Chains A and B, each alone.
Chain A
Amino acid sequence: MTARAVAEGVLDPELPVLTLAELGVLREVIESDDRVVVTITPTYSGCPAIEEMRRDLRTALTEAGYRDVEVRTVLAPAWTTDWISESGRRKLLEHGIAPPARVGPRPAGPVPLNLVPPPARVPCPRCGSAETTELSRFSATACKALRRCESCREPFEHVKEL
């Protein structure tokens, strides 16, 4: 197995339905002789999972026979939820987590203020209803918001747009 294939198969510690590649945090895998340099990027500045990711990558590559493994961090370009791949979005949905909408590049000028939660169109991942309400912008991990479906009444998590 190539080092890239091994690294791409490592799962995200906080959303273990996705691989790091699908989450979009795996930036580069460079293999030369016995040496592998993997580059990843954090999601949020304070995301505590990054150390787990580094360790999981080292472990997976070491177990695959690579003896000299280095995991580097890059900050730029900053990760956004647009880096989550199509297959990543599909897997989130299959596991009851609403994927983020695509946001595109940040427009120039001051960031607009939102005095009410924006009318996000986040369909329920269970029943597909568009009638859902944000319960809290912040949830069990930095990257998720908590919502409730007004049709099936189930609460669900939403990977909020960043």
Chain B
Amino acid sequence: MSFDNAYEAINDGAGEDAHWAFGTGFDDPLAGVDRALPAGVPVAELTAYCLMLGDDALVLSQRLAEWCSRAPELEEDVALANIALDLLGQARLLLSRAGEVEGAGRDEDTLAYLRDEHEFRNVRLVEIDCGPGPGGDFASTIARLLVFSSWRLAVFSRLVESADPVLSAVAAKGVKELAYHRDHAAQWTLRLAGGTEYSRERMVAGLARVWPLVGELFDPHPVELALPGVAVDPSLLRPEVDQVLDTVFGAAGLHRPEIAPLSPVAGRTGRDGAHTEALGYLLAEMQYLARSLPGASW
């Protein structure tokens, strides 16, 4: 197949289904998936839970993608971009499910591009700026990926049994992806901690940087507690995740940081839409084009 110009190539096959230029509108990731809602599940809470897990993945995906072409080596550009892509895929499925359960006509693109900061329900850990720009560094990116993927893998391992068929299916796919992400972060932690004195200092500092935001992962939220059999209560995961992290720290000769958790803001955390200032800047970049040309299609 040959085309006179790139635009024609991109447009090929779109036919009558014009695409939203900045969205994913070409494809419904849940097309054909069994979407039945389990009986007796509260709709508002299930919507919120899908947003919580979806926003975690979307925001960290955006953060990891920032490293593409800026990582310490070419293989790492590719690795972080691949991990970001897996998380973006998980986010698409979860945001689509959130929109569908909510039943207010919002699709994955509307949820990703047209919500404001206070409507995002991700944990604050995923939004802080760990580089590659000023103030960030690769070691804190690795520290965050290690903690987050260990936690999410523990969540997804249990979510496989969820009464919601979509959450269960998303989790079953995600488990294997997350195991690769966790291994990758664990292996880098060993490499940095066991490298030079300087790389070790950076790894220690990276862990200290993210540690105040770790506790929030395990605080059970009313949304999770309102969905027994559907959601996972994260407070039950702490021993398993600690064991994984302690294994990595032990092999790396590191100590688990003892740093107090970052306080909630008036009792609210990322799960309630109370974020650090980093999220606003991230969303500004991610959403700018889609918002400046609303509904643009090709």
A interface, CB within 8 angstroms of B: 39, 42, 44-48, 50-51, 54-55, 59, 71-80, 106, 110-111, 113-117, 135-140, 142, 146, 160, 162
Of the stretches B81-89, B108-116, B223-231, the one at the interface is B81-89
B104 touches A (CB below 8 Å):
no
Among residues of B, the one whose C-beta sits closest to the C-beta of A162 is B176
- CB <8 Å contact, B32 and A72: yes
Known contacts A74-B32, A76-B168; A135 and B175 CB within 8 A of each other: no
Closest to B165 in A: A76
Docked-complex contact B86 and A45, CB < 8 angstroms: yes
Quick one: which of B29, B90, B154, B183 contacts A73, CB cutoff 8 A? B29
Task: Kindly state the separation between the CA atoms of A135 and B76 in the bound complex, as whole angstroms.
Answer: 11
CA of A38 to CA of B122 in the docked complex: distance in angstroms? Answer: 36
When distances are taken between beta carbons in the complex, the residues of chain A under 8 Å from B153 are: 111
Quote the shortest CB–CB distance from A154 to chain B (angstroms): 17
**With A44-B89, A73-B29, A110-B154: A80-B176 Cβ-Cβ less than 8 Å:** yes
Q: Taking the nearest CB of chain B, how far is it from the CB of A49, in angstroms?
A: 11
The smallest C-beta distance from A107 to any residue of chain B, in angstroms, reads 11
Shortest beta-carbon distance, B30 to chain A, in Å?
Answer: 7
User: CA A5 – CA B13 in complex, angstroms?
Assistant: 23
Tell me the complex Cα distance, A54–B179, Å.
28
CB distance from A123 to the nearest CB of B (A): 22
Determine, out of B41-49, B184-192, B206-214, the stretch whose residues face the partner at the interface: B184-192
Known contacts A45-B86, A138-B78: does B182 contact A113 (CB below 8 Å)?
A: yes
Interface residues of B (CB under 8 A from A): 13, 26-33, 75, 78-79, 81-83, 85-90, 92-93, 153-154, 157, 165-166, 168-170, 172-177, 179-180, 182-184, 186-187, 190, 240, 244, 247-248, 251
Q: How far is the CA of A108 from the CA of B13 in the complex (A)?
A: 44
> Main SS of chain B's interface residues?
helix
Please tell me which one of the listed residues B92, B173, B182 contacts residue A78 in the complex, with CB atoms under 8 A apart: B173
Which chain B residue shows the least CB distance to A70?
Answer: B32
Most buried by A among B168, B176, B177: B176
> B85 touches which one: A46, A115, A139 (CB < 8 A)?
A46
- A106 to chain B: which residues have CB within 8 Å? 175-176
- Cα distance, A113 to B144, chains bound together (Å): 17
| Chain A residues whose C-beta falls within 8 Å of the C-beta of B170 in the assembled complex | 45, 75
The 3 closest A-B CB pairs, nearest first, are A46-B89, A72-B32, A45-B89
Contacts of B30 in A (CB 8 A): 73, 75
CA distance A46 to B182 in the complex (A): 17
> Hey, which chain B residues are within 8 Å of A47, CB to CB?
89
Known: A111-B157, A115-B187. A46 touches B27 (CB 8 A): no
Q: A113-B248, A117-B187 are in contact. Are A139 and B172 (CB under 8 A)?
A: no
CB-nearest residue of chain A to B184: A137
What is the chain A residue whose CB lies nearest that of B57? Answer: A45
- Chain B residues whose C-beta falls within 8 Å of the C-beta of A45 in the assembled complex: 86, 89-90, 92-93, 170, 173-174, 177
Extra inter-chain contacts (11) besides given A42-B173, A44-B177, CB under 8 Å: A45-B90, A45-B173, A46-B87, A54-B27, A75-B172, A75-B173, A114-B187, A115-B183, A115-B186, A136-B78, A138-B79
> B75 → chain A, closest Cβ, in Å?
4
Which of A42, A110, A115, A135 gathers the greatest number of chain B CB atoms within 10 Å? A115
Out of A114, A115, A116, A137, which one reaches B79, CB within 8 Å?
A137
Q: Check A50 against B175 for contact (C-beta < 8 Å).
A: no
In whole angstroms, how far apart are the Cα atoms of A115 and B251 in the complex? Answer: 8
Instruction: Please indicate the chain B residues that have their CB under 8 angstroms from the CB of A110 in the complex.
Output: 154, 157, 240, 244
Contact partners of B78 in chain A: CB under 8 A: 136, 138-140
Q: Does the CB pair B183–A114 fall under 8 Å?
A: yes
Please give, as numbers and ranges, the residues of chain B lying within 8 Å of A71 by CB-CB distance.
31
- Distance in angstroms between the alpha carbons of A38 and B81 in the assembled complex: 31
A75 to B180, CA, bound (A): 20
Partner of A146, one of B75, B157, B169, B183: B75
